[in-house]
Amino acid sequence: MSSSNPDWDLEQLKRDIHGERVGRNNTFCCDFCEVQISLEEPVMYDIVSVYDLANIEALSNPPKGWILDAARCENCEVDAVEPKTDGWKEAVVLFSIAESNGILSADASELTLIDYSPGDEGHHPPSIPLSALTTPGGVSMARWGYLKTLLATTAVEHEQFDVYRDMLTDMEKESTD
Ligand SMILES: [Zn+2]
């Protein structure tokens, strides 16, 4: 995480996400556990930029640059991009939410960077069903950092979720060995 890294430009990141709409119908909820998030304090967000993901680029035509991926409530906060996913530029950041005429948007003018992962670092992305790539929010599942929190908070049981859980356990073992 250094400014000499050509892959890394914090000001560009801020410009990309500043003013992006957040929330739905004037309420703002955690993207993992759906608890309502207070707008009084800066909010934690996973933000991402596609670096090298041929499948996803072909099927979902993601926007260029940084995009807001998932809001985290206090219970779902993390202190790092963990595990990192190869092919995505990922960051965990804090910024305020602005409200104007009932419209909520990201105010990235003061942004705190918690952690950053370059596009060419991390684990091979989890394989996700093609159908997920075409559903809203489905692309998020192609990142381990998203899946890890999702699997920790979901009550849904699914065979594939157990496969992911096993893979995450193996990654954690690798990193502590
Ligand atoms: Zn949450």
Centroid of ligand 1 to alpha carbon of 42 (angstroms): 15
In a domain, 15, yes or no: yes
Please count the structural domains in the chain: 1
The pLDDT score that the predictor gives to residue 54 is 83
The pLDDT score that the predictor gives to residue 1 is 47
Q: Which of 95, 93, 66, 74 is nearest to 32 (CA)?
A: 74
Strands of 67-72's sheet in order across:
67-72, 43-50, 88-100, 103-117
More confident residue, 6 or 65: 65
Centroid of ligand 1 to alpha carbon of 58 (angstroms): 31
The pLDDT score that the predictor gives to residue 82 is 95
Centroid of ligand 1 to alpha carbon of 71 (angstroms): 8
State percent of the chain over pLDDT 90.
70
Centroid of ligand 1 to alpha carbon of 76 (angstroms): 4
SS3 36: strand
Centroid of ligand 1 to alpha carbon of 78 (angstroms): 11
More confident residue, 134 or 48: 48
What is the pTM (predicted TM-score) of this model? 0.90
- pLDDT tens for 69-112 read 999 999 999 999 999 999 999 999 999 999 998 899 999 999 99
Centroid of ligand 1 to alpha carbon of 27 (angstroms): 14
Mean pLDDT of 51-60: 84
Centroid of ligand 1 to alpha carbon of 62 (angstroms): 25
In a domain, 121, yes or no: yes
Centroid of ligand 1 to alpha carbon of 60 (angstroms): 26
State percent of the chain over pLDDT 70.
95
**What confidence category does residue 5 fall into, taking pLDDT thresholds of 50, 70 and 90?**
low
In a domain, 1, yes or no: no
In a domain, 74, yes or no: yes
Whether the Cβ atoms of residue 79 and residue 115 lie closer than 8 Å to each other: yes
In a domain, 145, yes or no: yes
The pLDDT score that the predictor gives to residue 58 is 82
Centroid of ligand 1 to alpha carbon of 168 (angstroms): 19
The pLDDT score that the predictor gives to residue 3 is 47
Q: In whole angstroms, what is the distance from residue 22 CA to residue 175 CA? A: 34
The range of the structural domain enclosing residue 166 comes to 10-176
* Mean pLDDT across the chain: 90
The pLDDT score that the predictor gives to residue 2 is 47
Q: Which of 148, 95, 147, 84 is nearest to 118 (CA)?
A: 84
